[in-house]
Structure 1
Amino acid sequence: MSDAAQPTLGVVFRPQSPPEALREIVEAVDASPAAELWLWEDCFLEGGVSTAAAALAWSSRVRVGIGLLPVPLRNAALAAMELATLERLAPGRVIAGLGHGVLDWMGQVGARVESPLTLLREYATAVRALLAGETVDAAGRYVALDRVALDWPPAAPPELVLGATRPKTLALAGELGDGVLLTGDTDVEALRAARAIVDEARAAAGRAGRARVIVYTALDPGRSDLRDAVLRRTDELAAAGADAVAFHGTASSPDPRPFLDVLS
């Protein structure tokens, strides 16, 4: 790797692996140098909250990210309850990702909304406030809460990131989130553009500190030059503004352990 500041490195447990494979992967990640393990709630495979709870219980130090919870599928108060519970069970090890979800999937379950951006704004605002221990009243287009407060808020809220690809959602992540989660097909130029949008929106909102930009990146774990490919991709993404990189395999080769061997 180059001498430049390196991003936090992690791997993804893709839901194309069966749930019963999770524990072995979690324990391997926890014993490796990887800092983060990311879980996907893709329809109609595995639940993000249930897998995160198991991963946190089966590990002792790795941070577990849910990337991401599709907001049309859950009431905002329920999401806050679930995330608060996870954070209290494993303080400082939860990364909560919220996003639109795949719109076609949302349509399949009768949850697609006319304005996904409005929903995400209302939802993220409410969840952030609830996790901060506030009593929330909301009468939005999609989120309606009447004097709702968590009885068991966490001592400190978990890191809250928004999944985004388009400019308006990227700006929302900078305004409301602790960071942004970018998909595995994000190239270097798209990453630079996303970094700029997020930073500008964060500054415009008067928020201090740097938003964390997390990038998924896909590689075939069976390639012969995997180590060189991982090092090269990490350097490229770091130079373009990534703060964290999570490597994942393909749908047909989802096991992330070859990446752990490279990171060791």
Structure 2
Amino acid sequence: MHAAPTLGLILPPDQAPERFVGTARATEDAGVDELWLWEDCFGQSGTSTAAAVLAATSRIRVGLGLMPVPLRNVALTAMEIATIARMFPGRFLPGIGHGVLEWMAQAGVRAASPLTLLSEHATALRTLLAGDELSVDGRYVRLDRVRLRWPPEEVPPLLIGGGRPKTLALAGELGDGVILAGELTPGAAADVTRAAVRTVLDARATVGGEGAFPVVQFAGVRSDASADEVAELVASLGDAGATSVPLLALDADGEPERGDGIVRLATTIGALGR
């Protein structure tokens, strides 16, 4: 029997940036424990939005799922994570991943081997966040005696997002947790989550991984869904191995909400979490 997963709310980049702070405050006031942001091309910057939301709130944890590594120099990613982690210790949950490959091509940064890039980026990022100096000459990541001046005193868990088996295995081997996008539609299949968790944990076992391993499973639900509907969905994903279930508010057409429906779902989530 799995423990009940942490409930969260997703704030996707489908609304103007100036609305994020107010929505985040309302989400915290509703009693929600986690608020998740996406760094979609070509919407809001993930780290700047996370910093603004953290500064505007006092308790809620803010996850960023995820930062696409082709867009980012690993030294800059480390600097941004370290800065936010020092300013808001224990409240920032950073995630990295491939990003949407079509968007990476639009930006002129699509890698010939996304898996190699993600592996090199994750390995370097862990070293830099630990405060160590790093020189590396990889296929994609090249650094010469780089060390953070202000490494985080409390290193946040590095989450790796994925969906395909090789990326899930990499998350198990190199990550402190995994982000599963899954099907962002009502009634997302728990068996998909269960299979992904098995792949991740099997890979983690091969490298001797021990202890807790967060599994963040994104899911979509109608913003006017009843508390019982939300609870049933979350329970099924928790039984499949998810430890955190951030929910995306969907409108009647199955598209991300842009209005009051987001706060309405936050109120439902907050009530269930009490």
Query: What TM bracket, shorter-length normalisation?
Result: over 0.9
1:35 Cα deviation after fit: 1.1
Q: Does the CA contact (< 8 Å) of 1:198 and 1:211 recur in 2?
A: no
Counterpart CA distance in 1 for 2:134 and 2:44 is: 30
RMSD between aligned residues: 1.3
Amino acid aligned to 2:51? A
Question: Are the structure 2 counterparts of residues 218 and 252 from structure 1 closer, same or farther at C-alpha, using a change threshold of 3 Å?
Answer: closer
Q: What's the secondary structure of 1:150's corresponding residue?
A: coil
Structure 2 unaligned regions, length at least 5? none
CA contact (8 A) 1:202 1:211 kept: no
Q: How does 1:195-234 map to 2 (within 5 A)?
A: 195-222=197-224, 225-234=225-234
Equivalent residue, structure 1, for 2:130: 132
Equivalent of 2:32 in 31, 34, 48 = 34
User: Is structure 2 residue 259 aligned with structure 1 residue 257?
Assistant: no
Give the distance between the partners of 1:82 and 1:64, measured in 2 at CA. Answer: 14
Give the CA deviation at 1:252: 4.5
Q: How many Å apart are 1:187 and its aligned residue? A: 2.3
- Number of corresponding residues: 260
In the superposition, the TM-score normalised over structure 1's length comes to 0.95
* 8 A contact 1:199–1:210 mirrored in 2: no
**In 1, distance between residues paired with 2:182 and 2:32?**
18
Moved more, 225-234 or 83-92: 225-234
- Partner Cα distance (2:86, 2:47) in 1: 14
Query: What is the distance in 1 between the residues matched to 2:2 and 2:151?
Result: 38
Identical residues among aligned pairs (%)? 48
Instruction: Give the 3-state SS of the residue equivalent to 1:65 in structure 2.
Output: strand
Secondary structure, counterpart of 1:256 in structure 2: helix
2:14 counterpart residue number: 16
Shift of 1:247: 0.5
8 Å CA contact 2:27–2:267 kept in 1: the answer is no
**SS at the partner of 2:42?**
coil
Decide which of 82, 93, 100 is 1:84's aligned counterpart: 82
CA-CA distance at 1:4 after TM superposition: 5.6
Cα deviation, residue 256, structure 1: 2.3
> Counterpart of 1:218 in 2: which secondary structure?
strand
Identify the residue that residue 238 of structure 1 maps to in structure 2.
238
1:22-58 Cα deviation digits (max 9, x unpaired)? 1111111222321110001111111101100101100
Which residue of 1 is the match for residue 58 of structure 2? 60
Q: Corresponding residue for 2:115?
A: 117
1:180 is matched with: 178
Instruction: Report the secondary structure of 1:159's partner residue.
Output: coil
TM, length-normalised to structure 2: 0.92
Secondary structure of the corresponding residue to residue 117 of structure 2: helix
The runs of at least 4 consecutive aligned structure 1 residues that moved more than 3 Å come to: none
Distance in 2 separating the partners of 1:230 and 1:176: 32
Q: Out of 151, 160, 171, which is 1:153 matched to? A: 151
The CA distance in 1 between the partners of 2:70 and 2:50, in whole Å, is 19
Matched-pair contact (CA < 8 Å) for 2:219–2:248: yes
What letter corresponds to residue 130 of structure 1 in structure 2? L
Query: 2:157 is aligned with what amino acid?
Result: E
Q: Deviations over 1:134-180 (max 9, x none)?
A: 11111110000111100000012112101100001001111111111
Which residue type is aligned with residue 206 of structure 1? G
SS of match in other structure, 1:79: helix
Distance in 2 between residues matched to 1:53 and 1:192, nearest whole Å:
33
1:206 positional shift: 1.4
Contact 1:132 1:156 in 2 (8 A): no
Query: What CA distance in whole angstroms lies between the structure 2 residues aligned with 1:214 and 1:247?
Result: 11
Structure 2 letter corresponding to 1:46: Q
